[in-house]
Amino acid sequence: MSGPTLPVGRRAPFVPILAWIGILSSGIGGVRLLVSVVSHPTWHALVALLSCGATFATSLGLRSRREWARQGFIALMTYYCVLLVVGYLRLRAQPNTLTAPARTFLLVIWGFFMAFSLSIIWELRSSRVREEFDAKSAV
């Protein structure tokens, strides 16, 4: 495998910062979910644990500037956006479960995480970031 196309000094700091955030958050979340799966196994907890594992693996690949990891991270962020939409639709389907301020608060949080996720997808798809990744590592 050959190295990245840009010298290390010209790389954007976005990718390693995103990678470390992914490694730390999925590692901590994965340990918490592992305890949950072992103590009270459910399908939801198992799927969440697998999602944490996929995020951890793609985050490690992002640190090494692997193209498969960039594409995988984009796919995971898209998956998380779909989960946000599903959660929002479930909240709307049960109108009497929360007070109006709580619903507003959740809507604001939902909007923030959706905008944040879409901005990460946008940045990972930018030509500046794509140039940092080695196309041969996609194999």
Residue with tokens 């940045």: 123
- Kindly state whether residue 132 falls inside one of the protein's structural domains: yes
How would you label 85-107 residue by residue, b for 16+ Cβ within 10 Å and e otherwise? eeeeeebeeeeeeeeeeeeeeee
| Domain encompassing residue 21 | 8-138
* pLDDT for position 9: 53
DSSP designation for 2 = -
* Under 8 Å between Cβ of 81 and 110: no
- Residue 53 included in any domain: yes
Confidence class for position 134, pLDDT limits 50, 70, 90: low
What is the pLDDT averaged over residues 53-77?
94
Question: Does any domain span residue 2?
Answer: no
Global pTM? 0.81
Q: Do the domain assignments include residue 1?
A: no
What does the alpha-carbon distance between residue 18 and residue 77 come to, in Å, rounded to a whole number?
12
Q: Please say if the pLDDT value at position 124 is more than 80.
A: yes
CB 134 within 8 Å of CB 3:
yes
User: How far apart are the C-alpha atoms of 74 and 88, rounded to whole Å?
Assistant: 21
Domain total of the chain:
1
Mean pLDDT of 18-41: 92
Q: Which helix (H) or strand (E) holds 57?
A: helix 43-63
Q: Has residue 34 been placed in a domain?
A: yes
Question: What average pLDDT does range 34-44 have in this prediction?
Answer: 89
The predicted structure's pLDDT at residue 100: 82
Domain assignment present for 85:
yes
